[in-house]
């Protein structure tokens, strides 16, 4: 059979770092081992029932069996505006300041196509969610990595960036609460970001995928809550994490009208909008009873408490994450991130993601997802403890 060579665009796509890990996990599981997989970011709990029921009812509506309007149904855009007002006291114009997305991932990749030409510069976090790089690579633009260091609370330090690169940059990706570091941002940081972005005419893309998941009673800050945010950027939100709807593929971008227009334009060419019944169920999620969201956050928080406590008990000095459903754990001396992740996999049958898979500055850490119940998380900590790597004080 003829094998067709791929385009230069596809050749530029970054390697899927975690594919190797997935293979190793599959091999161990197929040998019958009881593997505790904390290596992925796939929410483990189901979508709240009232949202699923709304989809079932909506699926019967013949209006949705036709093509949806290209940029999505107005009712969903209006629901997004109501959601932002209710949750963040931010005014969003449903017509010009909302783009409906097939999940945040789609928008995060599309935005590079929308705003970058070949050779342009984009700033992105290191470590960071790998898909920012996918879009930048497809646009044939140049990435400049902003290290997220523990000493800076995993926030980029704009003063330390090269001035010429800052001036050249057209796009800046941020993500708080942060995957993978679990760092959180406050209003002062977003205010500073807006100032830097305005000075250098950079479009800010804030990935707010974990916007609902803040612990210890602290609600994560939206970028849109800072004055001037809409002048200089957009925020991408997803229903994947807030409502356990990762498989449904629904998200949205809000903010700067010119960017929203560009996102809608590229989507006009790539797709017709989401299945109307999914849009109706998404409206229900955003506007309906939010009890399930509070319960979900409480579940992650109590998993976090158990996991961190048990890891500290075995002598692993870890920080409690303040948001997201990830823990960013320092690798003990004498191991690289990959070596340590391999050791946990092979000897404890516990899967974590090596930090260097998220970028060079992720070296020295592994990421564990709080995506198993408390018992399994405690079991994972106990198995790691049995390896005798950490010195306990007793």
Ligand X SMILES: Cc1ncc(COP(=O)(O)O)c(C=O)c1O
Minimum gap (Å) between residue 267 Cβ and ligand X: 14
Nearest to ligand X of 282, 314 (CB atom)? 282
Nearest to ligand X of 220, 385 (CB atom)? 220
Element (H, E) at 316: none
Helix (H, G, I), strand (E, B) or coil at 196: helix
Minimum gap (Å) between residue 313 Cβ and ligand X: 29
Minimum gap (Å) between residue 238 Cβ and ligand X: 3
Minimum gap (Å) between residue 128 Cβ and ligand X: 8
Cα–Cα nearest to 113, from 95, 131, 94, 90? 131
Q: Is 278 exposed, middle or buried (0-12, 13-18, 19+ CB in 10 A)?
A: buried
Nearest to ligand X of 166, 209 (CB atom)? 209
Nearest to ligand X of 208, 316 (CB atom)? 208
Minimum gap (Å) between residue 394 Cβ and ligand X: 37
CA atoms 63, 253, 116, 173: torsion sign: negative
Nearest to ligand X of 104, 212 (CB atom)? 104
Residues in the chain: 394
Tokens of 136: 């930048």
Q: Is 112 exposed, middle or buried (0-12, 13-18, 19+ CB in 10 A)?
A: buried
Minimum gap (Å) between residue 299 Cβ and ligand X: 18
**Residue ranges that bind ligand X, judged by CB under 6 A:** 41, 103-105, 129, 175, 179, 207, 209, 238, 240, 246, 251
Q: Are 361 and 155 in contact (CB under 8 A)?
A: no
The CA distances from residue 62 to 51, 59, 66, 306, in Å, are 19, 8, 7, 48
Nearest to ligand X of 103, 214 (CB atom)? 103
């Amino acid at each position: 059979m003829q094998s067709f060579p791929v385009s230069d665009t596809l050749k530029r796509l970054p390697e899927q770092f975690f594919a190797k890990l997935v293979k190793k996990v599959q091999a161990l599981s197929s040998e019958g081992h009881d593997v505790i997989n904390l290596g992925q970011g796939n929410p483990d709990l189901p979508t709240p029932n009232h949202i699923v029921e709304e989809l079932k009812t909506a699926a019967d509506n013949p209006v949705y069996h036709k093509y949806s309007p290209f940029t999505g149904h107005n009712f969903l855009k209006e629901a997004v505006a109501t959601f932002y007002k209710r949750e963040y006291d931010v005014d969003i114009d449903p017509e010009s300041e909302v783009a409906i997305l097939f999940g945040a991932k789609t928008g995060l990749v599309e935005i590079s196509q929308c705003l970058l030409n070949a050779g342009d510069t984009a700033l992105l976090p290191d470590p960071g969610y790998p898909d920012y790089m996918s879009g930048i690579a497809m646009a044939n633009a140049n990435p400049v990595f902003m290290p997220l260091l523990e000493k800076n609370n995993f926030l980029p330090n704009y003063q330390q960036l090269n001035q010429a690169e800052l001036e050249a940059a057209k796009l800046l990706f941020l993500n708080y609460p942060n995957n993978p570091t679990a760092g959180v941002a406050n209003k002062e940081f977003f205010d500073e970001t807006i100032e830097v972005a305005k000075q250098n005419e950079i479009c800010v893309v804030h990935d707010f995928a974990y916007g609902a998941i803040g612990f210890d009673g602290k609600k994560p800050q939206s970028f849109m809550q800072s004055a001037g945010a809409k002048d200089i950027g957009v925020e991408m939100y997803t229903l994947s994490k807030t409502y356990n709807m990762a498989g449904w593929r629904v998200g949205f971008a809000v903010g700067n009208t010119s960017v929203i227009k560009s996102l809608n334009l590229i989507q006009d060419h790539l797709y017709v909008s989401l299945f109307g019944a999914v849009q109706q169920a998404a409206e229900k999620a955003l506007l309906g009873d939010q009890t399930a969201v509070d319960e979900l956050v409480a579940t992650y928080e109590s998993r976090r408490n158990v996991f961190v406590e048990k890891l500290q008990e075995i002598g692993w000095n870890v920080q409690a994450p303040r948001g997201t459903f990830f823990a960013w754990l320092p690798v003990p001396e004498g191991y690289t991130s990959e070596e340590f992740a391999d050791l946990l996999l092979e000897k404890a049958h516990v899967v974590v993601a090596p930090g260097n898979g998220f970028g060079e500055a992720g070296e020295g850490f592994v990421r564990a997802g709080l995506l198993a119940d408390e018992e399994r998380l405690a079991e994972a900590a106990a198995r790691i403890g049995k390896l005798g790597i950490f010195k306990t004080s007793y």
